[in-house]
Amino acid sequence: MKLIFLGPPGAGKGTQAARIEAAYDIPQLSTGDMLRAAVAAGTEIGKQAKDIMARGDLVPDDVVVGIISERIEAADCANGFILDGFPRNLSQARALDGVLVEKGIDLDAVIELAVDPEILIARILKRAQESAQDSAQGPRDDDTEEALHHRLRVYEEQTAPVADFYAEKGILRTLDGMQEMDEVTQQIRSALEVI
């Protein structure tokens, strides 16, 4: 199974990707983890990323796509992979598409978790409040209502069009991400069973 998980911040992509990773024995690939691994391994792309990250700059799309290109050739990706939250924009989607065509890899599905933004914000703020009480560190800086609204706007402007890109290819599966966690997992597994 070669999958992409899309959805706004806080929709549960990471949680669901981890569950599908375990069920299908395929790795969940996070761009942040891949960047750090490439830097640690000292690959050519990793060296480029290290310099950029050291300056505090965002890693450009071509470097991120290059790291993904290297990573999906690893032995643990032989049976598939889950790209969690990538691509984040149409440019990345098109670049990834080119890499996959070049490698002869077809995506099986793009799973989009659809959520109600206002309910999502309330859910994240509640979770932030609970974690702040349980943690000596306090809430995360980006778990404020203002930051969440901004993150959702960025998602709508930059990432939501990626869903249309994959819908045109006929591989987008939009699921109700507002259900309970187990129900969302079941929706995903049902969608994957018919592929």
Q: Would you please indicate which residues are annotated as catalytic (active-site) residues?
A: 13, 88, 127, 140, 151
Neighbouring residues of 10: CB distance < 8 A, sequence distance ≥ 6: 115, 120, 121, 123, 124, 148
Verify cis geometry, omega within 30 degrees of 0, for the bond prior to 87. Answer: yes
CA 2 to chain centre: 13
Closest by alpha carbon to 59, among 35, 43, 86?
A: 35
